[in-house]
Amino acid sequence: MTHFRRQIFILIFLAFSMAAYAAAKFQLSVSTQTGGDDIEVGEQFYVYMKLDNIDAEPSAPEVPGALVKYFTLSSQSSSMSSINGKVTRSQSRTYVATCTASKEGSFSIGPIQVGDVRSNKASYTIVKSGTGSLSKLQQRQQQQRQQQQSAQQGAYGRDPDDANQGPKFIGKGNEKLFLKASVSKSSAYEQEALVYTVKLYSSYAPIKFIGATEAPKFDGFVVEESDETSKSLHYETYNGHEYATAIIARYIIFPQMTGKLTIKGNTYTVSTDEQEYYDDPYFRMLTVRRPIQLNVTPNDLVIDVKSLPTPQPADFSGGVGQFSISSSLSSSDLKTNQPASIVYEVKGSGNLKYIKLPDLNDLYPKQLEVFSPTAEVNAAAKGVTVSGNIKFDYSFTPLEMGQYQIPEVSLVYFDPSTGKYEKSVAKGYTVEVDKGSLSEKSQTKNRLKFDESLMSVGRLHKAYAPIVYKFSYWLCFIIPALALLIIVIVYRRHLKSAADIVGTRMRRAGKVAAKRLKKAAACMKVGDREHFYDEMLVALWGYVSAKLNIPTSELNRENVAQRLADAGAPEDSINSLLSVLDDCEFAKYAPGSGENELQHVYDRGTEVINSLEDSRLTPQ
């Protein structure tokens, strides 16, 4: 039984070991170009993503404080083992993100999740350019010296762990890989077409051209990019060594200013495998290929640009190159007020897109009205220049009948090969213009004919005087302006009075009392004695409360008499008001009386309110 338990324990242990061996892992690491601890702003560094036994594909990570330029698979490996018939497979892949530091600070990346597995967290610091623990320039120089020593001595006995190092920066290049920039002419005329070429030289095998991180700096040039680059590698001997070469960039450039102009090369990235040699005690010499990325910059160039010879011809078209001009007329039989067209075609090579023809209105007869042309450009960068043609389609309209001569048109350009101004001439035509009907689509209008009798010396006739001279014209502006001003004044007064709640209530006291008296009169007509006296009391007390601004809780005979006297009310009006109030209070509970009594009370109440309104009270 003990032996059986021991076997079970061993099987469980092996199962856990195999599971741990095949466990999925995801590791992150950050490395600089030179292997230093500090990353400087503008420096290139790398983020490595190592995935063990993970089938999912990762995407390019977001790296704080940096710009991710490339994200590629750097290396991969797989293995298989069999224990007691149990087959276990494992695989490992390493991806590298090429980044450029853009902002100072302390940053971290991760954890990143790929599939169901999360990575660790990697931290890094970006410092100001030139403030690292060791100058990056010194580090790169040191690295280049080490590479040169390795190339000369064979690089035996290197540590195999270096196979996981990141891409290297070799600046302008070394003896194994470099770029060479060239230009068709180092001295040229302004606007002359030049060819700028970047050629790759490599003794690595194989290589993969990834691309450029930015465009070359053509300050002072107009640029036309050419697609005539190498589709495959060619072998060439340079300085006694054989290299695989390829033209990776070609531009047609046109200098726009004189003097010494500099073209600065840009950085290109190349991926390849580097062979490394190890002295193994059992197998002796071993060769290992290590994938690397190389960032190389071609040499800068200086071009001496000369100005065009002076004096320039008055009709110089601005063309620099070799050109010719021809013309074609749609028809030589024309009619008045009906459009026709003539096409001038310029062919050749050079700065074709910048050629201008002379103003044809200065060359053509005045009886032919010429309009601005439409240009159709068909030119592309080919060989060592820009070649093709450009068509200028002119529309013109004959204005009068007769026979006219369309003159020759000259194209004056500068030929750099001869160093002189040359001329090409397009032929002219003789046209016959017959009478034609006035077309609605005609591009011209009848000439205006003025009656000189309608004009006096120094001023127009009254019938044709501008409308701004008439008073009625300005009246259309004055009346709306005055109306708007009055509306604004009235509206502002309305807002001011509406804001004075107490004053508004005092002013409207008489109107409110009149409405109450109407209700009392309605009750009197139907013989409703009780409600009649109620409405009379409400009208009188309400009038006094609103007119004198007395709260309802303070309404009594003594207070009302005193406040009316202070406001300047006549004494007989005060007595009449108090008398009417007393009669209404008494009659409300007294035995019924006739309609004449109700009318008498109504008249007295109306009279006393009118007298108080006429008194123009001034409440304190």
Domain-located, residue 390: yes
Q: How many domains does the chain have?
A: 5
Among residues 450, 479, 498, the one where a domain terminates is 498
CATH code of residue 97: 2.60.40
- On whether both 254 and 332 belong to a single domain, the answer is no
- On whether both 336 and 290 belong to a single domain, the answer is no
The pLDDT value given to residue 142: 52
- On whether both 42 and 170 belong to a single domain, the answer is no
User: 346, 364, 342: which is closest to 356 by C-alpha?
Assistant: 346
- On whether both 422 and 475 belong to a single domain, the answer is no
The pLDDT value given to residue 11: 55
Domain-located, residue 464: no
Terminal Cα-to-Cα distance of the chain (whole angstroms): 120
Please tell me the distance from the alpha carbon of residue 328 to that of residue 326, in angstroms, as a whole number: 7
Please tell me the distance from the alpha carbon of residue 349 to that of residue 68, in angstroms, as a whole number: 41
- On whether both 65 and 186 belong to a single domain, the answer is no
User: 201, 211, 190, 286: which is closest to 245 by C-alpha?
Assistant: 201
Among residues 288, 305, 322, the one where a domain terminates is 305
Domain-located, residue 143: no
The pLDDT value given to residue 594: 60
User: What are the distances in angstroms from CA 501 to CA 449, 495, 552, 566?
Assistant: 72, 11, 17, 22
The pLDDT value given to residue 205: 63
- Structural domain of 283: 151-305
pLDDT of 256-293, one tens digit each?
A: 889 999 998 888 887 777 766 555 555 445 566 777 77
Indicate the pairing of strand 316-329 with strand 409-415: parallel
The pLDDT value given to residue 503: 64
The pLDDT value given to residue 554: 78
Q: How many CB atoms lie within 10 A of CB 483?
A: 10
Domain-located, residue 446: no
- On whether both 555 and 493 belong to a single domain, the answer is no
pLDDT of 173-194, one tens digit each?
A: 677 788 889 998 889 999 888 9
Domain-located, residue 146: no
The pLDDT value given to residue 164: 40
CATH code of residue 598: 1.20.120
The pLDDT value given to residue 608: 85
The pLDDT value given to residue 273: 73
- On whether both 371 and 516 belong to a single domain, the answer is no
Please tell me the distance from the alpha carbon of residue 177 to that of residue 200, in angstroms, as a whole number: 8
Please tell me the distance from the alpha carbon of residue 247 to that of residue 269, in angstroms, as a whole number: 14
The pLDDT value given to residue 152: 38
Please tell me the distance from the alpha carbon of residue 579 to that of residue 603, in angstroms, as a whole number: 13
- On whether both 123 and 204 belong to a single domain, the answer is no
Domain-located, residue 141: no
Domain-located, residue 590: yes
Among residues 305, 327, 359, the one where a domain terminates is 305
- On whether both 283 and 158 belong to a single domain, the answer is yes
Residues of the chain predicted below pLDDT 50: 1, 13-14, 16-21, 133-135, 137, 141, 144-145, 147-167, 283-284, 439-452, 454-456
Please tell me the distance from the alpha carbon of residue 267 to that of residue 194, in angstroms, as a whole number: 22
- On whether both 243 and 335 belong to a single domain, the answer is no
- On whether both 163 and 300 belong to a single domain, the answer is yes
Domain-located, residue 449: no
Single-letter residue type at 351 = N
- On whether both 489 and 519 belong to a single domain, the answer is no
